[in-house]
């Protein structure tokens, strides 16, 4: 049975780059977002972005589907997973993620800490990390990435980024409280190298 390494942390903290650095199979948990138009999507009610879907609220994400995919990967070694287009707020297909016998794989995303408890209870968890950097660094990395990928209108991205920067310390504390170890990307990379291989 395979085990999962969970990489949680603020958007822009470097989770995706770190996942690539490991050389392990990667499950992108952000692909489990709900599609635009879903009536259950949460909406921002205050501030400059009032009326816009709150994509930073875990209610915009399909936790049960993500946990089911994690369980299948650990137990069977493969799972059909969605492919999500953030720029268009919707799924654009699906693909089969096959671990090809790898005993460890990475699951990363901004809501990744929400899967830690169930993975630990089921004996599927190898490690859980909260990847974090200085709020200003995270803000700039997130903004430049989102502008480059045309994820949302520039003004929406800027306003959202400022709010997330101000809330980052609280978010990191929340993630750590779920059992994720707070680390920089480089620290996480070293710890992952030292993890024992499941047998």
pLDDT in tens, 102-146: 999 999 999 999 999 999 999 999 999 999 989 899 889 888 988
Give the pLDDT confidence score for residue 145 in this predicted structure: 87
Q: Which domains does the chain have, with CATH numbers?
A: 3-194 (3.40.50.300)
Average pLDDT, the chain: 92
Residue 38 DSSP SS3: coil
85 is written with which tokens?
A: 């287009």
Look up the pTM and report it: 0.90
Q: Is 32 exposed, middle or buried (0-12, 13-18, 19+ CB in 10 A)?
A: buried
Residue 64 φ/ψ, nearest 5 degrees: -60, -40
Token pair 């949460």: residue: 42
86 is written with which tokens?
A: 């953030």
Give every residue of the chain whose pLDDT is below 50, as ranges: none
């Amino acid at each position: 049975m395979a085990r999962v390494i969970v990489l949680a942390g603020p958007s822009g903290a470097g989770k995706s780059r770190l996942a690539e650095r490991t050389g392990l199979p990667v499950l992108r948990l952000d692909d489990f977002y709900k599609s635009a138009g879903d009536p259950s999507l949460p909406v921002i009610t205050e501030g400059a972005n009032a009326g816009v879907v709150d994509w930073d609220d875990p209610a915009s994400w399909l936790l049960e589907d993500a946990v089911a995919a994690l369980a299948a990967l650990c137990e069977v070694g493969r799972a059909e997973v969605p492919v999500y287009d953030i720029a268009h707020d919707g799924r654009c297909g699906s693909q089969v993620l096959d671990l090809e016998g790898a005993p460890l794989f990475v699951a990363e995303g901004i809501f990744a800490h929400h899967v830690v408890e169930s993975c630990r209870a089921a004996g599927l968890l190898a490690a859980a990390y909260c990847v974090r950097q200085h709020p200003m660094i995270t803000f700039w990395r997130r903004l430049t990435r989102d502008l480059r990928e045309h994820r949302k209108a520039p003004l929406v991205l800027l306003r959202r980024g400022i709010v997330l920067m101000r809330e980052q310390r609280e978010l990191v504390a929340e993630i750590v409280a779920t059992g994720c170890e707070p680390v920089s990307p480089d620290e996480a990379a070293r710890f992952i190298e030292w993890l024992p291989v499941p047998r």
